[in-house]
Amino acid sequence: MTKTSAPAAKGDAISSVAEAEVTADKVAAAAAKAEEMEQLRLDIDQHNYRYHTLDAPTLPDGEYDRLFQRLQKLEQQCPELITVDSPTQRVGASPLHEFTQVSHELPMLSLDNAFDASDLQDFERRIRSRLEDTLNTAEYQGRELEFACEPKIDGIAVSLLYEQGRLVRGATRGDGMIGEDITQNVRTIKSVPLRLVGKGYPQRLEVRGEIYISKSTFEQLNQAAMQAGEKLFANPRNAAAGSVRQKDSRLTAKRQLTMFCYAVGQVEGGEIPQQHSEILNKFKSWGLRINPASEVVKGVDACVDYFDRLSKNRAGLNYAIDGVVFKVNDRLLQAQLGILTRTPRWAIAHKFPAEEGISRLLAVEFQVGRTGAITPVARLEPVKVGGVTISNATLHNMDEVNRLGLFINDTVVVQRAGDVIPKVVRVMQAGEHQQVIALPAQCPACGADIVQTASEVIARCEAGLACQAQRKESIRHFASRLAMDIEGLGDKLVVQLVDEGLIQSPADLYALVASELVKLERMAPKSANNLLQALDKSKQTSLAKFIYALGIQEVGESTARSLANFFGDLDLLRRADVEKLQQVQDVGPIVALKIARFFSQADNQAVVNDLLAAGITFEAVSVDEPSVVLQGLTYVLTGSLTQLSRNEAKARLQAMGAKVAGTVSKKTSVVVAGEAAGSKLVKAQALGLKVIDETELMDLFAAHET
Ligand code: IVH
């Protein structure tokens, strides 16, 4: 503190000396506090590291709590001294409206699969033949190939970015090119260091790994959910996925997520070792948690042995795995092998076979989907498969029922593979009192006739929105996250609203009023208001989401986006004929017909009109002005692009009039080869096609885009 007025009298001078001393004391005390706080943070980080990364705590829990509380107390006294990476700051921040997108500078790849030892042998053979020259050099000659073997964690892949050792961003994998920013959520995970420990980490380091929920935590979560009468999670992976994508990170903080790190992304301003296994060791020394079950082995036979050993230990692990990942350990060799489209040639996942269980078919029910498709669903005697109780399984369609030769009361084998809906794979024994499974003649929901054309395997109720079941499903779809994203409008509420006769079509949602809503069971005024607000918010959307939300048969998210980009305007789309529709990327004759038919139906036209009248607006679309620059040319994109995502490159080429195809053929005009382009590039060269690189592509855009 500084005094502005000069001391006039002697007494004043004395008091100002005393004051100065007091001030100096205060400054010293504050400095001491700041120092103590930093020391506490370092100590707590160190103990977190020992506890979470090394799994070797050296401090009793009570002692740790004491340090933590002391830091909290000091931070309360001096809130201005709280740092973002203080260990107290993991509790979660205020809810987000939306996740922002993150574009991965290096794509997050997926893995090719092997299902048996011979697939693994092929894998090694391919590698050996590609690396022939290198493996014949003095350095490698006579040596077996080294593989890093790791459990394949059944969780959620994420990327963590550290700058100067500080966690600055966490992102989901998304489609590999573009993910979502989940920094707030990642910060709540105790095994993710907010600051790296130790020395020698690169200034910019991207670490990749898997976030998961342990089996024991998963059980506890479901216990708690059951007691609270809430919906249970199907498996640990779903629980982890839901927690990682929570908009309210305070909820994420409660889920006790954890993480194993297994790969490196970007590295700047520093060196990392040449062997993958050494990198993992470095990770550990920097406080990042790695899987202790990883091993380095020589040759593919040892990989098979690792797989067998891990299969036996699988049940004893406290985390779910769905296989083993084998990676060429030497990063120089990895670089030479490169990437094939989205999967590296130097790694492979050996998946465990799907898990099976035995049950009895009690009954078959017929469900009506959004577009009227009738699906037979098996009701089974509950059976535990891979730790999850299964009592329903899909039978897909009547052809499948016949193929299986299935009757009610048969003993059946049911299978569940990871996230996939369980299915009946075969009949094990015919039941004593077999009953025939017959497709009903009338829709179980509305009583309309069920129609099955000769050319289609799928039977349908053609009553459209007049059918309650289809109505519910289409409203559910309309409200879903990738469509109108109406928060709080879950499945149960849709059923309630339709059953109570409050809504008949998606458009009726926007006419709901609080006084009606509060009459519903379990609907407090606050929830009613939240719903109305969410509905209001959903009115500002994009044309692509709106088209997707309409639930036109065969129009998924990506086709909806193509349609929006092509027409840029709903009216033009509504009036488009089949020929015009086929000009849109990915729209063939069948899809074009479905779209045209949808808009030709009066009921659908009315729903769309009502929705627009309710005030739905679209953000401006930059229409793919059918530019003529690249008219008649077919481009193929291959390899990874660094300055923009592949989807973006595709959209921009299309906007310039080009067709963008997925495979190289004689008809291809130009191949754009990004980094580590693989077989498509080889084929293009073999066919003598024009090949350009990313820089030339960017030049092309720069020269022609306005
Ligand atoms: S490495 C370049 N290692 O498996 C390879 N992936 O199918 C990048 N996964 O998206 C992945 N455990 O989510 C790698 N030890 C492990 C893994 C692992 C689980 C997941 C990951 C990836 C998927 C690939």
Is residue 152 annotated as part of the catalytic site, yes or no?
yes
Beta carbon of 325 within 6 Å of any ligand 1 atom: yes
Distance 155 CA to ligand 1 centre (A): 9
Say which residues have a Cβ less than 8 Å from residue 622's Cβ, sequence separation at least 6: 568, 655
Give the rounded distance of the alpha carbon of 71 from its chain centre. 36
Tokens 């086929």 sit on residue: 582
Q: Which long-range contacts (CB under 8 A, 24 or more apart) does 617-621 make?
A: 617/539, 617/540, 617/541, 618/541, 618/542, 618/543, 618/546, 618/570, 619/540, 619/541, 619/542, 619/543, 621/542, 621/543, 621/544, 621/564, 621/565, 621/568, 621/569
Residue 99 lies in a domain: no
Tell me the CATH number at 591.
Answer: 1.10.150.20
Which structural domain, as residue segments, surrounds residue 160? 126-351
CATH of the domain at 9: 1.10.287.610
Which pLDDT score is estimated for 8? 43
Helix (H, G, I), strand (E, B) or coil at 379: strand
Asked if residue 458 belongs to a domain, the reply is: no
Q: Is 691 in the pocket of ligand 1 (CB under 6 A)?
A: no
329 shares its domain with 221: yes
- pLDDT at position 675, please? 84
Tokens, residue 401 = 């029922």
Closest atom of ligand 1 relative to the 110 alpha carbon: 24
What CATH number did the domain enclosing 366 receive?
A: 2.40.50.140
Q: Are residues 609 and 642 in the same domain?
A: no
Q: What distance in angstroms lies between residue 670's CA and the mean position of ligand 1's atoms?
A: 33
- Same domain, yes or no: 342 and 382: no
Question: 178: CA distance to ligand 1 center in Å?
Answer: 17
CA–CA separation, 16 and 120 (whole Å): 82
Determine which residue's CA is closest to atom 2 belonging to ligand 1.
109
| 448 occurs within a structural domain | no
Which listed residue (33, 152, 190, 519) is catalytic?
Answer: 152
Tokens representing 245 are 């994508």
| pLDDT value of residue 560 | 92
CA distances from 102 to 498, 508, 639 (A): 38, 36, 20
pLDDT at 1: 38
**Ligand 1 within 6 A of 328 CB?**
no
In angstroms, the CA 595 to CA 584 distance is 12
Q: 455 in a domain, yes or no?
A: no
In a domain, 623, yes or no: no
Cβ of 310 closer than 6 Å to ligand 1, yes or no, is: no
The number of folded domains in the chain is: 5
User: What does the pLDDT read at residue 340?
Assistant: 83
Q: Which atom of ligand 1 is nearest to the CA of 150?
A: 15
**Mutational pocket test of ligand 1: of 104, 111, 306, the residue with most ligand atoms within 8 Å of the beta carbon:** 111
Q: Is residue 657 part of a domain?
A: yes
**154 in the same domain as 288:** yes
CB of 348 shorter than 6 A to ligand 1: no
Q: Which of 408, 429, 450 is the last residue of a domain?
A: 429
CATH assignment of the domain containing 647: 3.40.50.10190
State the distance from the centre of ligand 1 to the C-alpha of 259, rounded, in angstroms. Answer: 13
CA of 152 to the centre of ligand 1 (A): 6
Give this prediction's pTM. Answer: 0.58
Whether ligand 1 lies within 6 angstroms of the CB of 261 is answered as: no
Residues of the chain with pLDDT under 70: 1-18, 386-387, 417-420, 621-628, 705-706
Check if 263 has its Cβ closer than 6 Å to any atom of ligand 1. Answer: yes
Task: Please give the pLDDT value at position 645.
Answer: 81
Are residue 164 and residue 293 in the same domain, yes or no? yes
Phi and psi for 611 in degrees, rounded to 5? -65, -45
Residue nearest to atom 6 of ligand 1 (CA): 152
pLDDT tens digits along 630-681: 878 899 999 888 888 887 888 888 877 788 888 898 889 999 998 888 888 8
Distance (Å) from CA 113 to ligand 1 centroid: 11
- Index of the ligand 1 atom closest to the CA of residue 349: 7
Give the residue, by CA position, lying nearest to ligand 1 atom 13.
157
Q: Which among 72, 91, 110 is the end of a domain? A: 91
In angstroms, rounded to a whole number, what is the distance separating the alpha carbons of residues 501 and 497?
Answer: 6
Does residue 477 share a domain with residue 584?
yes
Domain membership of residue 515 (yes or no) is: yes
Cβ of residue 153 lying under 6 Å from some atom of ligand 1: yes
Is the shortest distance between the CB of 535 and ligand 1 below 6 Å?
Answer: no
Q: Which atom of ligand 1 is nearest to the CA of 108?
A: 8
647 and 611 in a single domain? The answer is: no
- Domain boundary (37, 67, 91) is at 91
The CATH number that applies at residue 201 is: 3.30.470.30
Domain match, 364 and 299 both: no
Our mutation pick for probing the ligand 1 site, out of 152, 158, 159, 328, counting the most ligand atoms within 8 A of Cβ, is 152
Residue 111 CB less than 6 A away from ligand 1? yes
Which contacts (CB < 8 Å, 24+ apart) does range 403-408 have? 406/361, 406/437, 407/361, 407/431, 407/434, 407/435, 407/436, 407/437, 408/361, 408/362, 408/363, 408/364, 408/434, 408/435, 408/436, 408/437
* Residue 470 shares a structural domain with residue 519: yes
347 ligand 1 Cβ < 6 A: yes
57 CA to centre of ligand 1 in angstroms? 29
Same structural domain for residues 512 and 573? yes
Q: Measured in angstroms, how far is the CA atom of residue 227 from the centroid of ligand 1?
A: 35
Residue with the smallest CA separation from ligand 1 atom 23 is 110
Asked whether 149 lines ligand 1 (CB < 6 A), one says: no
User: Is residue 437 one of the residues assigned to a domain?
Assistant: no
Residues 553 and 614 occupy one common structural domain: yes
Nearest-atom number in ligand 1 for the CA of 156 is 13
For residue 110 and ligand 1, the question of a CB distance below 6 A is answered with yes
* 73 and 144, same domain (yes or no): no
